[in-house]
């Protein structure tokens, strides 16, 4: 499985960077060959020099082997330079060819994938520079192959003593690699198992070092409690590491012991052989030199095999990622004029859950109508919005826009119907201009319309210009309060040329005065547009043309504020309960 995934990583890199990756393969093979050849050329140079000094041969052989040795030394000294150049070339091509594939897949991903805890690890890994990990797997696979070549060719030098001597050396290499690999595998397994404990430890440390939690903990005198929890957790983690390190070192010690025993045997054997003149001084020197080279190669091979084993896990995530469901992308179609919305017996439950959120819900929203969705927490109000935005699909029933199934509309058509301010809206660490213009990118340079949208969103800070960076990502960036960020989000929705503006808890971060001003402003803004609003503050529902009360997954009642209060149903009960707090 490991070899299969390593091969797949190499195949992916060759697919996206064929010339650059092939050049790097050639470079690694050349360097792997030159390393043992340098040892062999050293052997022949020494033997030729001995014969020349003894007057038993001419100097041509000395010159030849010296030239070949210098040739290999020259190219080996340029290894790091060419390795860096080829690495950068592969990286650039992956950024140009591979990364866009990942980005495009993210763009098409079905929203349900982002709320599925089983796929969160895959999404996180694929969003965290996957091209870097892919290249790391590819490089590790090449390095392992290169070191294997070094070991095999170096072992041929031992064959000059005898074939059995070479076979004994090869058989010794395998347990040494296995012991080193086992040692590192144990350490890696602990690292993997402790990842959740590390996150808890980091979280506790963040509570002690963070500005907001530290302030509250000091006020309540709870800093010592958190500090004790951090210390106990830290002791547990470190003790487990120590025990595992001791256990892992047993295998590392076995590998070292095996190497030492082999070295002692080899030195004694070779010294006796050279004294008995069974081998030449050049071969003696080559074999002694090859010990360090081969052992260094086996140690690196063990380490790289373990790294490659971890890195190839990315290939599993890559396969899973490519198979994730995508949102439908219908193209073309004219914008819908005066869109009317209808839910027809819609049933829905979130993936991998048993609870039915919407149970055959039906209602209609007329063109330009202002509607308020109300109900208790968990009634399904936000789910209705997510279905309208096609983030999820109904399990049964239909959602129609002007009689057309919502799944048959193009993205452009859907954007022409809805713009949204979600309760958990996004704060972009970009300029104020970009934050607002995301509502309609064609108006990025239209200062007048951007400022008009900000005014509609109740933006009041004239000290912050359109090109001021927001957040703390850039030097000179301005961090906004929750209410200010929400005003920017509302301005973004107002800029969008949509028939309906959807507001999910629009006043959540606003004070009561600003909330009142926002509703007055929206009464003007929405004269020519429809609105679908969710708010737990039922006073806002009074501005709606129609109130839809959702409970137990169905429409409990609907009508104007006056009608529902007269009916004395669920809405009247909820409104009266809230009003009592203000009497």
Which DSSP helix (H) or strand (E) runs through 491? helix 482-495
CATH number for the domain spanning 429: value is 3.40.50.300
Same domain? For 395 and 447 the reply is: yes
- Average pLDDT score over residue span 396-408: 91
- Residue 287 falls within a domain, yes or no? no
- Average pLDDT score over residue span 390-412: 89
| Higher-pLDDT residue of 246, 464 | 464
For residue 288, the model assigns a pLDDT of: 78
The structure's pTM equals: 0.65
Same domain? For 141 and 259 the reply is: no
Lowest mean pLDDT among 16-25, 268-277, 443-452: 268-277
pLDDT in tens, 327-343: 776 666 677 788 899 99
For residue 192, the model assigns a pLDDT of: 57
Residue 358 pLDDT exceeds 80: yes
Same domain? For 349 and 462 the reply is: yes
Q: Where are the alpha helices (DSSP H) in 276-362?
A: 281-311, 313-323
CA dihedral 254, 256, 257, 261 (to 10 degrees): 140
Q: Kindly report the CA angle at 548 between 366 and 334, in degrees rounded to 5?
A: 30
Last residue of a domain, one of 291, 326, 361: 326
Cα 495 from Cα 248, distance rounded (Å)? 61
- Residue 564 falls within a domain, yes or no? yes
For residues 147 and 180, is the Cβ–Cβ distance under 8 A?
Answer: no
For residues 507 and 426, is the Cβ–Cβ distance under 8 A?
Answer: no
- Residue 294 falls within a domain, yes or no? no
Residue 46 pLDDT exceeds 90: no
For residue 508, the model assigns a pLDDT of: 58
For residues 183 and 248, is the Cβ–Cβ distance under 8 A?
Answer: yes
| Higher-pLDDT residue of 64, 260 | 64
- Exposed, middle or buried, 355 (CB in 10 Å: 0-12/13-18/19+)? exposed
Same domain? For 96 and 208 the reply is: no
Q: Kindly report the CA angle at 224 between 222 and 230, in degrees rounded to 5?
A: 110
Which DSSP helix (H) or strand (E) runs through 502? strand 500-504
Task: Choose from 116-120, 171-175, 213-217, 561-565 the range with maximum mean pLDDT.
Answer: 561-565
For residue 177, the model assigns a pLDDT of: 72
Side-chain-side CA neighbours of 501 within 13 Å: the count stands at 25
For residues 451 and 466, is the Cβ–Cβ distance under 8 A?
Answer: yes
- Average pLDDT score over residue span 200-222: 72
For residues 102 and 95, is the Cβ–Cβ distance under 8 A?
Answer: no
Number of domains into which the chain is organized = 3
Last residue of a domain, one of 326, 358, 389: 326
Residue 583 pLDDT exceeds 60: no
Residue 194 pLDDT exceeds 60: no
- Residue 475 falls within a domain, yes or no? yes
Residue 174 pLDDT exceeds 90: no
Task: Give the confidence band of 401 by pLDDT, cuts at 50, 70, 90.
Answer: very high
- Please list the helix, strand and coil fractions of the chain in percent, rounded to the nearest 5, in that order: 65, 10, 25
For residue 324, the model assigns a pLDDT of: 83
Lowest mean pLDDT among 358-362, 425-429, 510-514: 510-514
Same domain? For 146 and 170 the reply is: no
Same domain? For 372 and 452 the reply is: yes
Task: Give the confidence band of 123 by pLDDT, cuts at 50, 70, 90.
Answer: confident
- Average pLDDT score over residue span 383-393: 89
Residue 229 pLDDT exceeds 60: yes
Task: Choose from 52-56, 81-85, 313-317, 543-547 the range with maximum mean pLDDT.
Answer: 543-547
For residue 419, the model assigns a pLDDT of: 85
Same domain? For 265 and 358 the reply is: no
> Percent of the chain having pLDDT more than 90?
7
Residue 217 pLDDT exceeds 80: no
- Exposed, middle or buried, 559 (CB in 10 Å: 0-12/13-18/19+)? middle
Last residue of a domain, one of 294, 326, 358: 326
DSSP 558: E
Look over the chain and give the mean of its residue pLDDT values, rounded to a whole number: 80
For residue 346, the model assigns a pLDDT of: 94
For residues 89 and 7, is the Cβ–Cβ distance under 8 A?
Answer: no
Q: Where are the alpha helices (DSSP H) in 54-119?
A: 60-77, 79-108
Same domain? For 111 and 168 the reply is: no
Cα 50 from Cα 551, distance rounded (Å)? 98
531: three-class secondary structure by DSSP:
strand
Same domain? For 211 and 117 the reply is: no
For residue 131, the model assigns a pLDDT of: 79
- Structural domain that includes position 493: 341-582
Give the strands of the sheet with 396-401, arranged side by side. 358-365, 341-348, 396-401, 404-405
- Residue 33 falls within a domain, yes or no? yes
Task: Give the confidence band of 187 by pLDDT, cuts at 50, 70, 90.
Answer: low
- Residue 331 falls within a domain, yes or no? no
Q: Which residues pair with 555 in a beta bridge?
A: 550
- Average pLDDT score over residue span 453-467: 79
Which DSSP helix (H) or strand (E) runs through 363? strand 358-365
Q: Which residues pair with 469 in a beta bridge?
A: 431
Residue 151 pLDDT exceeds 80: no
Residue 361 pLDDT exceeds 80: yes
For residue 42, the model assigns a pLDDT of: 85
The residues near 508 (Cβ < 8 Å, ≥ 6 apart) are: 423, 486
- Average pLDDT score over residue span 59-79: 85
Cα 158 from Cα 154, distance rounded (Å)? 7
Residue 399 pLDDT exceeds 90: yes
For residue 307, the model assigns a pLDDT of: 65
For residue 198, the model assigns a pLDDT of: 66
For residue 343, the model assigns a pLDDT of: 93
- Residue 393 falls within a domain, yes or no? yes
For residues 486 and 508, is the Cβ–Cβ distance under 8 A?
Answer: yes
- Average pLDDT score over residue span 392-397: 91
For residue 311, the model assigns a pLDDT of: 63
Separation of CA 368 from chain center:
41
- Residue 229 falls within a domain, yes or no? yes
Same domain? For 371 and 469 the reply is: yes
Task: Choose from 135-144, 473-482, 485-494 the range with maximum mean pLDDT.
Answer: 485-494
Residue 474 pLDDT exceeds 90: no
Cα 558 from Cα 374, distance rounded (Å)? 10
Cα 514 from Cα 459, distance rounded (Å)? 10
Cα 187 from Cα 170, distance rounded (Å)? 27
pLDDT in tens, 266-287: 778 778 877 888 888 888 887 7
Residue 11 pLDDT exceeds 80: yes
| Higher-pLDDT residue of 482, 3 | 482
Same domain? For 154 and 177 the reply is: no
Cα 328 from Cα 393, distance rounded (Å)? 10
Place of tokens 């590998």: 255
| Higher-pLDDT residue of 184, 8 | 8
Side-chain-side CA neighbours of 573 within 13 Å: the count stands at 7
pLDDT in tens, 520-541: 666 666 667 888 888 777 777 7
Q: Which has the closest alpha carbon to 236: 273, 260, 204, 282?
A: 204
Q: Which has the closest alpha carbon to 291: 328, 315, 265?
A: 265
Place of tokens 């409990």: 556
For residue 522, the model assigns a pLDDT of: 64
Phi and psi at residue 486, to the nearest 5°: -65, -35
Same domain? For 144 and 167 the reply is: no
């Amino acid at each position: 499985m490991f070899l299969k995934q390593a091969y797949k990583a190499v195949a992916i890199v060759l697919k996206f960077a064929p010339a650059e990756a092939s050049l790097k393969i050639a470079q690694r093979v050349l360097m792997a060959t030159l390393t043992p050849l340098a040892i062999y050329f050293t052997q022949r140079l020494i033997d030729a020099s001995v014969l020349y000094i003894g007057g038993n041969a001419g100097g041509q052989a000395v010159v030849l082997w010296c030239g070949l040795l210098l040739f290999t030394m020259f190219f080996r000294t340029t290894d790091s330079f060419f390795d860096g150049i080829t690495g950068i070339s592969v990286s650039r091509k992956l950024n140009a060819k591979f990364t866009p594939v990942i980005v495009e897949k993210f763009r098409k991903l079905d929203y349900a994938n982002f709320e599925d805890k089983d796929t969160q690890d895959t999404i996180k890994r694929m969003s965290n520079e996957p091209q870097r990990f892919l290249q790391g797997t590819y490089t590790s696979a090449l390095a392992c192959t290169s070191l294997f070549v070094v070991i095999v060719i170096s072992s041929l030098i031992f064959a000059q003593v005898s074939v059995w001597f070479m076979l004994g050396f090869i058989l010794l290499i395998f347990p040494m690699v296995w012991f080193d690999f086992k040692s590192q595998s144990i350490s890696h397994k602990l690292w993997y198992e402790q990842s959740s404990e590390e996150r808890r430890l980091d979280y506790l440390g963040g509570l002690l070092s963070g500005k907001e939690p530290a302030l509250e903990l000091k006020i309540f005198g709870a800093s010592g409690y958190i500090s004790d929890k951090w210390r106990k957790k830290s002791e547990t983690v470190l003790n487990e590491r120590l025990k595992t390190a001791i256990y892992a070192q047993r295998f590392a010690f076995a590998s070292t012991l095996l190497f030492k025993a082999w070295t002692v045997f080899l030195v004694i054997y070779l010294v006796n052989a050279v004294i008995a003149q069974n081998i030449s001084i050049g071969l003696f020197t080559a074999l002694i030199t090859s010990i360090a080279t081969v052992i260094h190669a086996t140690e690196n091979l063990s380490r790289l095999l373990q790294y490659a084993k971890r890195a190839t896990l990315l290939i599993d995530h890559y396969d899973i990622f490519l198979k994730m469901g995508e949102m439908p992308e219908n193209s073309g179609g004219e914008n819908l004029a005066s869109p009317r919305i209808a839910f027809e017996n819609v049933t829905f439950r979130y993936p991998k859950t048993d609870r039915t959120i919407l149970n055959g819900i039906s209602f209609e929203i007329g063109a330009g109508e202002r509607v308020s969705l109300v109900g208790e927490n968990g009634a399904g109000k936000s789910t209705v919005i997510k279905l309208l935005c096609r983030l999820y699909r109904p399990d049964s029933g239909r959602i129609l826009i002007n009689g057309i199934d919502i799944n048959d509309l193009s993205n452009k058509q859907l954007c022409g119907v809805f713009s949204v301010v979600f309760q958990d809206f996004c704060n972009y660490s970009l300029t104020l201009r970009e934050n607002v213009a995301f509502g309609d990118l064609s108006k990025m340079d239209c200062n007048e319309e951007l400022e008009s949208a900000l005014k509609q969103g109740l933006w009041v800070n004239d000290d912050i210009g359109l090109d001021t960076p927001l957040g703390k990502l850039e030097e000179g960036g301005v961090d906004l309060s929750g209410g200010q960020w929400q005003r920017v989000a509302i301005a973004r929705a107002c800029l969008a040329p949509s028939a309906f503006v959807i507001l999910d808890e629009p006043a959540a971060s606003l004070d009561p005065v600003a909330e009142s001003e926002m509703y007055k402003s929206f009464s003007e803004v929405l004269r020519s547009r429809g609105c679908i609003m969710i708010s737990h503050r039922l006073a806002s529902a009074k501005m709606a043309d129609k109130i839809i009360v959702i409970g137990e997954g169905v429409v409990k009642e609907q009508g104007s504020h006056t009608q529902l209060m007269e009916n004395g149903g669920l809405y009247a009960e909820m409104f009266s309960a809230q009003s009592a707090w203000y009497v």
